[in-house]
Chains A and B, each alone.
Chain A
Amino acid sequence: MTLTTPGRRATAARDGAATPHALRAEPPRLTGRTALIGAAIGAVVIGALVAIDALAPHLFSARLPNRLQDGLTLSLSVLFEALPFVILGVLLSIVVQVWLPAGVIERVLPKRGWARRAVLSLLGMLIPVCECGNVPFARGLMMRGLGPAEALTFLIAAPIVNPIVILTTHAAFGFDGGILVARLVGGYLVANLIGWIYSRHPDPDALLTERFRDTCEVVVHEQGSGIRRSLAQFLIELRAVMPALIIGSALAGAVQVLVPRDVLLAIGSNPLLSVVAMIALAISVAICSNVDSFFALSFASTFSPGAIVAFLLVGPLVDIKMMALLRTTFTARTLAGIVGIVILFGFALGIGVNVFA
């Protein structure tokens, strides 16, 4: 299905250029007074936000209860950390969706499905975006006709198979216990496994939310100058990603405050249960993949190496924040499948490392 065809969405894009609404009376323009007025309103709104931010904290001096405050602090910390990567991802999606000449992606990528996916799972080596930023980028790729299974391969591989993550994992663990190698190879394999499984789906578009399919249609028929389409893409992607990012971060913060961590950590070095515990911790704690190895390092003395590997594999791929982000694009059913596969794979890999390494 996804072997050689660039997919229905890209076909629509090409046909779109020739179909009726090119006849629409006024091709939208971005020049002139309305645009200036709009930008001025935007600037005023931002000025108001600045004023609120500067003044409001002086008005309420009462402190929140400790737990609530800690939850908020943790959530905001994730948000401030992730926002730059999301913006980078949105910019990349604009480049891919608006400015990349037609057909470039198809020409560069191999024709065979498995080879395509094998290449896409290495794309993370070139694109310096953290896992949150990958989501808007992958959406941009799909709007340009990449199949859902192929986009998934990229999304699952890139958070692990990328230079920053390799460097930091090496800095934290060296080659001890095969942790670095197991993480890299495991990430690459699970991405291709998931890509392969979903490439066999009879109707790939059914993997995507209706909302995202609608967005694709809107976007590929977008008229007007490159600038106009870029701005529209900026708005569309932020609308899709921001609420999910914020809710994912809020959940991550809430879980940290509400779920006592010592319960998980009490499990310690049991070769089987420690893997389960670290997978649970990985999903709930939602740390970016390029620093999670330092976090994991602090557990290295109490947990089995397999548990650390499972943490490092599962965390970047399907933590709470990532699930919220992926849900913007993939149906709940697809997401459940991905999460299930990643957890089972992480579990098997962790046990494998404990038994053989």
Chain B
Amino acid sequence: MPDTTTATRRQTHAPRAVDAHDHAAEAAGSRARALGTRWLGAGLAAALAVATLALAATGRLTLYISPETVWFAVAAAIVTLVGAVWSCALPLGAEQEHGHDHGSHDHGGHDHGHAQDHARPSARRVVGAVAGATGGVIATGVVAGALLLPPASLSVDMAMQRAPMGNVLFAGADDVALGANTDTSTFGIGGWASVFATGSRPEKYDGSSVTLTGFLTPSGSAKDQAHLTRMVISHCVLDAQPASVPVQITGWQGQYAVGDWVQVKGTVRASADGKLSIVPASVSKIPEPKDPYEH
């Protein structure tokens, strides 16, 4: 991250470069550095903007961010691309030109102090340059991941790893869950998970019919009950939290594997001790939905 260009820019001033060969090498070097600078700034931004637009065009941007902010991401990506193309009108390296240059006109050799200072790069500068270069490589690698690899949803492992803290409140769901005659027909797994965990009067929901889509995860060691799970995100995948509801399927592991996507149609039932679960009328295997998250 820090201080690469300063370090490298200054080093080039140091030697009294007089013969043409050195000059040419120096010019090539500074050109490469200027290109690197462009790439690490506008280049990386443009690459991300391209990835954003491509994902949005194919309807897959919601794999990463909430549908509400897609328009904003798209607008900013377009601005980025316009800016990136337009800024190429500036000659390479122009953005780094010093006004009161130490660079372009000190070949005459007026400032000796300066030259000596920078002739031997200090250990700190070397470390800075190495850190900067490493940072640049990592940043390029991450962005390359966006361009080269197909987008993916979070793995089932991740949902299961986070499962222990499942059954919590999801965005805004607390109001509806506890209110009187709430309309539960629009509830996804997130909404139902909140109701199951916190609903003060489970009998109220007994008999509600539901159609839910999610993937199957184990419910402890129970043989006749699975969890129907879905990742719920409120803004971007970073805040994804698993939500799950218990579904009664006798001997489910004989028919399904952990992580299988299914659509469950059925009824909410309260057991004698007031625990809610879903008794399915039908469970059908489906491919992973285009938007694997609930928002």
Asked if B145 and A60 make an inter-chain contact with CB atoms under 8 angstroms apart, the answer reads: no
Asked if B87 and A244 make an inter-chain contact with CB atoms under 8 angstroms apart, the answer reads: no
Asked if A250 and B149 make an inter-chain contact with CB atoms under 8 angstroms apart, the answer reads: no
Asked if B84 and A298 make an inter-chain contact with CB atoms under 8 angstroms apart, the answer reads: no
The answer to whether B180 has its CB under 8 Å from any CB of chain A is: no
Asked if A57 and B149 make an inter-chain contact with CB atoms under 8 angstroms apart, the answer reads: yes
Q: Which residues of A contact B94 (CB under 8 A)?
A: 28, 232
Asked if B87 and A234 make an inter-chain contact with CB atoms under 8 angstroms apart, the answer reads: yes
What CA separation (Å) do A232 and B207 show in the bound complex?
65
The contact string, 1 if C-beta is below 8 Å from chain B, for chain A 232-275, is: 10111111111110110110110011001110010000000000
Choice from B40, B164, B234 contacting A291 with Cβ under 8 Å: B234
Asked if B45 and A83 make an inter-chain contact with CB atoms under 8 angstroms apart, the answer reads: yes
Q: Which residues of A contact B138 (CB under 8 A)?
A: 246-247, 250
Asked if B80 and A83 make an inter-chain contact with CB atoms under 8 angstroms apart, the answer reads: yes
Q: Which residues of B contact A11 (CB under 8 A)?
A: none
Q: How large is the interface on A (under 10, 10 to 19, 20 to 34, 35 or more residues)?
A: 35 or more
Q: List residues 51-78 of chain B with CB under 8 A from any CB of chain A.
A: 51-52, 54-55, 61, 63-65, 69, 72-73, 75-77
The answer to whether A42 has its CB under 8 Å from any CB of chain B is: yes
Q: List residues 279-300 of chain A with CB under 8 A from any CB of chain B.
A: 285-288, 290-292, 294-295, 297-300
The answer to whether A172 has its CB under 8 Å from any CB of chain B is: yes
The contact string, 1 if C-beta is below 8 Å from chain B, for chain A 218-236, is: 1011110000100110111
The answer to whether B37 has its CB under 8 Å from any CB of chain A is: yes
Asked if A235 and B5 make an inter-chain contact with CB atoms under 8 angstroms apart, the answer reads: no
The answer to whether B216 has its CB under 8 Å from any CB of chain A is: no
Choice from A50, A223, A238, A297 contacting B171 with Cβ under 8 Å: A297
The answer to whether B16 has its CB under 8 Å from any CB of chain A is: no
The answer to whether A16 has its CB under 8 Å from any CB of chain B is: yes
Q: Given A46-B85, A74-B238, A77-B237: A210 and B6 within 8 A (CB)?
A: yes
The answer to whether A211 has its CB under 8 Å from any CB of chain B is: yes
Q: Which residues of A contact B165 (CB under 8 A)?
A: 261-262, 265, 298-299, 302
The answer to whether B235 has its CB under 8 Å from any CB of chain A is: yes
B12 to chain A, nearest CB (A): 15
Asked if B44 and A242 make an inter-chain contact with CB atoms under 8 angstroms apart, the answer reads: yes
The 3 closest A-B CB pairs, nearest first, are A221-B99, A42-B88, A239-B41
Given contacts A56-B149, A87-B79, 15 further A-B contacts (CB under 8 A): A21-B100, A60-B149, A70-B154, A72-B142, A77-B64, A78-B236, A83-B73, A209-B3, A231-B95, A235-B42, A238-B41, A242-B41, A243-B40, A256-B238, A298-B170
CB-defined A-B contacts under 8 Å, sample of 11: A49-B50, A60-B148, A64-B149, A79-B142, A87-B76, A210-B6, A231-B87, A239-B40, A239-B42, A246-B143, A247-B1
Interface residues of A (CB under 8 A from B): 16, 19-21, 28, 30, 34-36, 38-39, 41-43, 45-46, 49-50, 52-54, 56-57, 60, 63-64, 66-67, 69-70, 72-81, 83-88, 91, 171-172, 209-211, 214, 217-218, 220-223, 228, 231-232, 234-244, 246-247, 249-250, 252-253, 256-257, 260-262, 265, 285-288, 290-292, 294-295, 297-302, 324, 327-328
